[in-house]
Amino acid sequence: MNSQLHEQVSRILATQPDPVSRQNLVDVADLTEVSLSGDTLNLGLQFGYPINGVKEQLQAELAPLFSKLGAAKVNLKLDWKVKPALTKVLEGAGKVRNILAVASGKGGVGKSTTAVNLALALAADGARVGILDADIYGPSQPLMLGVPEGTKPQVHQQTFFLPIDALGLQSMSMGYLVTEQTPMVWRGPMASGALQQLLKQTIWSDLDYLVVDMPPGTGDIQLTLSQQVPVSGAVVVTTPQDIALLDAKKGVEMFRKVNVPVLGIVENMAIHICSNCGHKEHIFGAGGGEKIAKQYGVSVLGSLPLSLSIREQADGGKPTVAADPNGEIAAIYRRIARLAAGQLAKMSRQSAGAFPKISIHND
């Protein structure tokens, strides 16, 4: 009976989509317990991405799937644990399970704003998250995180940096080491070397995700990160504008050539809604993100409106997910984060190649 029950539960997991990550449940959650206690079916599921913000939703939507197995009651226990999506992890001073690059083919498409809100959304769901500002020439994360000007990271053992805590994130940026009046007049190899130092000589404290805010383009820094660092996946940011889409394609192609999975496309400034009359207009065009996604076989993780509040909140040092956590735009960022994290969880299970220990018994 127990073996048969386990097979029935496994079959449901293999055929039902996760309502949050849109992956099959079997690809993002481990079955950790199957047991009968009288007329109660006890099930345990451990998700591979943080679920603190959606635990009640998952309970409500998943429990009924198992009610048809004959038990009068279903006791569904949910927890989560983020594991590395790649077998190779970062070799440096700190511990990082997954590195998530946020990139764009050109500047001005909202990449840095997307990166910081993505990091905040992952942290809001319970993950330990860091953000690395890899834009050596034009660092913007200190401003977006509200870090006071002049703040410097502490140095440990004269060799390592301690990340600066900001809005619940562990952060590091060249902006902490230079002033606005000290531009980085460096050639490519120097900038690439600086990036590796910031990444590998920062004592990241047990991170589930390190979000890397990449500089725009496909130059030395991007290649250094993609080829010499185990990047788990990339998110490419664009606007619907034709010129931006051309550059976004270059970004996707670059990651494909260096074997970094592209988790999806984020489309910024997709639509403008007039604050006076509510009229909606696609100022920069429509459907561009979907075209790229279809062409390269990836998904559109989300589309964000052209909104004054997104810009004001980021410039004010408290990005949307932190400033208005229950708002509509914050909800979009959270969906984007969960979709990306779900893909990394699927990759983690595929790379592990092992099944968890499952408890099957009658009480």
The mean pLDDT value for 132-158 works out to: 89
Confidence of residue 191 (pLDDT cuts 50, 70, 90): low
pLDDT digits (tens, 9 = 90+) for 60-119: 999 988 887 877 788 999 999 999 999 888 888 789 999 999 998 777 788 999 999 999
Q: Which amino acid is at 28?
A: V
- Is residue 345 scored above 90 in pLDDT? yes
Pairing of strands 129-133, 169-173: parallel
Q: How far lies 215's CA from each of 30, 191, 224, in Å?
A: 36, 11, 12
Residue 357 is predicted with a pLDDT of 44
Confidence of residue 218 (pLDDT cuts 50, 70, 90): low
DSSP collapsed to 3 states, 245-283: HHHHHHHHHHHHHCCCCEEEEEECCCCEECCCCCCEECC
Please provide residue 270's backbone torsions phi and psi, each rounded to the nearest 5 degrees: -70, -30
Separation CA 130–CA 202 (nearest Å): 11
Residue 213 belongs to what H/E stretch? strand 207-213
CB atoms within 10 A of CB 309: 14
Angle, helices 308-315/111-124, rounded to nearest 10 degrees? 80
Residue 354 is predicted with a pLDDT of 45
Q: Which amino acid is at 170?
A: Q
Residue 1 is predicted with a pLDDT of 45
- Is residue 358 scored above 60 in pLDDT? no
Q: How far lies 284's CA from each of 104, 241, 288, in Å?
A: 17, 5, 9
- Is residue 320 scored above 90 in pLDDT? yes
Confidence of residue 360 (pLDDT cuts 50, 70, 90): very low
The mean pLDDT value for 294-307 works out to: 87
Share of the chain above pLDDT 70, in %: 89
Is residue 259 left, alpha or beta, with left meaning phi > 0 and alpha meaning psi from -120 to 50?
Answer: left
Half-sphere exposure of 287 (CA within 13 A, CB side): 3
- Is residue 165 scored above 90 in pLDDT? yes
Candidate from 93-97, 141-145, 270-274, 334-338 with smallest mean pLDDT: 270-274
Separation CA 178–CA 350 (nearest Å): 42
Domains of the chain, each with CATH number or no CATH:
2-81+352-362 (3.30.300), 96-325 (3.40.50.300)
Residue 125 pairs in a beta bridge with none
Q: Which two tokens stand for residue 96?
A: 């990082």
150 near 127, Cβ under 8 Å?
no
Pairing of strands 96-103, 73-80: unpaired
Enter the pTM of the model.
0.90
Candidate from 163-172, 232-241, 327-336 with smallest mean pLDDT: 232-241
Q: Which two tokens stand for residue 352?
A: 């592990």
Residue in the structure block whose two tokens are 């429990």? 63
Residue 179 is predicted with a pLDDT of 66
DSSP label of 175: G
Residue 184 is predicted with a pLDDT of 56
Residue 288 is predicted with a pLDDT of 67
Write out the DSSP string of 180-209: TT------HHHHHHHHHHHHHSB---SEEE
Please provide residue 200's backbone torsions phi and psi, each rounded to the nearest 5 degrees: -90, -15
Confidence of residue 188 (pLDDT cuts 50, 70, 90): low
90 near 136, Cβ under 8 Å?
no
| Residue predicted with more confidence, 180 or 331 | 331
**Averaged pLDDT score across all residues of the chain:** 86
Residue whose C-alpha is closest to residue 307's, from 346, 271, 351? 271
359 near 31, Cβ under 8 Å?
no
Q: Which two tokens stand for residue 300?
A: 């559109």
Q: In sequence order, what are the residues at sequence separation of 6 or more whose Cβ sits closer than 8 angstroms to the Cβ of residue 111? A: 102, 103, 104, 213, 214, 216, 237
Q: Which two tokens stand for residue 102?
A: 């946020």
Residue 172 is predicted with a pLDDT of 95
